[in-house]
Amino acid sequence: MLSVKPDFYDNFKCIADKCRHSCCVAWEIDIDEDSLRRFMAVEGEFGEYMRRNIELEPSPHFVLADEERCPFLQDNGLCKMILTLGEDSICHICREHPRFYNELPGRIEAGLGLCCEEAARLLLEGREHLSLVTDGVDEGVEDELLELRDEIFAILREDDLSFTARMEKALDIFGMEPLDLDVEAIKELYLGLERLDEDWTKKLNTLAPVELEPALSKMRYLRLAEYFIYRHFASAPDEYEAALRLQFAFLSTRLICAMDMLTDDNEATRLYSSEIEYSDENVDKILDYIDEKNSLT
């Protein structure tokens, strides 16, 4: 079995109190069974505090405090549980975040979700195309979607072409053309999705027509497109769904680029991942939109 990860994966380390957008705020934190047993066995005053802040139904989770903060998040941005019991004490979801894993034929692909500002920084500040690091035994399992993804990655590395030309060439594999970046239609689509952060709504409301080339051909946006393709393409159930996800990757990259150009900051990537990638419902609605547009061409 092969283990696969992107080039920046091993450089990741939680920046804890230096993080401007703590993952310990506004996220429901589920507790796995092994951690729950450990938490219930902690003695003394701290053990009592832990159990007061755990609810068992509908599934074990921490009770969020004021402003939807984890009850163990201190004002200085550090975790009271880690400071009291050590780093090994935290539950599975806290230990693993923002990592994700896709199980594919003959391999497990790991990555870092861009809802984390440090993960986003590591991706966007890379100076070369995204590369994949492999470990383990290659069992020689053939998978058509992985082969197609390699072909798409090769096209994205054709640096003599503009981003748009690379996008067109990649989509042509599936007989598709890029979606028009109809700003008003895209704004209506995304504003109609579930939204959690008011800053995301503000980003969407800033959208206006803008010339994206040559900004799109900067390495940060090529790596961003490669990341979206790495995370979403090969886990599709069939080739047509994979093609829709390729459209999703290019649409997402262009939308983030447009937001960056209009607001002059790097928050769009983190917000996009948090609001879209971490909601299967939102992703499915965007894929439905792409499917409808594709059927009209």
Mean pLDDT of the 98-125 span: 95
Mean pLDDT of the 252-278 span: 91
> 96, 114, 132 — which closes off a domain?
96
Q: 132-136, 205-209, 237-241, 261-265: lowest mean pLDDT where?
A: 261-265
| pLDDT tens per residue across span 5-29 | 999 999 999 988 888 888 888 878 9
Considering the domain architecture, whether residues 41 and 181 belong to the same structural domain is answered as: no
Q: Is residue 226, in this structure, part of any structural domain at all?
A: yes
Q: Confidence class of residue 134 from pLDDT cuts 50, 70 and 90?
A: very high
Provide the pLDDT for residue 297. 60
If one counts the domains in the chain, the total is 2
| High-pLDDT (> 70) share of the chain, % | 99
Q: What is the mean pLDDT of the chain?
A: 93
Mean pLDDT of the 239-254 span: 98
Considering the domain architecture, whether residues 288 and 171 belong to the same structural domain is answered as: yes
Considering the domain architecture, whether residues 291 and 144 belong to the same structural domain is answered as: yes
Contacts of 61 (CB under 8 A, 6+ apart): 28, 29, 30, 31, 54, 55
Considering the domain architecture, whether residues 278 and 145 belong to the same structural domain is answered as: yes
Q: Is the pTM of this model over 0.85?
A: yes
Considering the domain architecture, whether residues 81 and 154 belong to the same structural domain is answered as: no
Q: How far is CA 195 from CA 24, 36, 97, 131, 153, in A?
A: 18, 31, 21, 32, 31
N- to C-terminal Cα separation, the chain: 41
Is the pLDDT reported for residue 264 higher than 80?
A: no
- Rounded CA separation 136/26 (Å): 37
Is the pLDDT reported for residue 102 higher than 90?
A: yes
Considering the domain architecture, whether residues 149 and 262 belong to the same structural domain is answered as: yes
Considering the domain architecture, whether residues 86 and 167 belong to the same structural domain is answered as: no
Considering the domain architecture, whether residues 148 and 209 belong to the same structural domain is answered as: yes
What is the domain extent for residue 56? 24-96
Q: Which two tokens stand for residue 27?
A: 């996220």
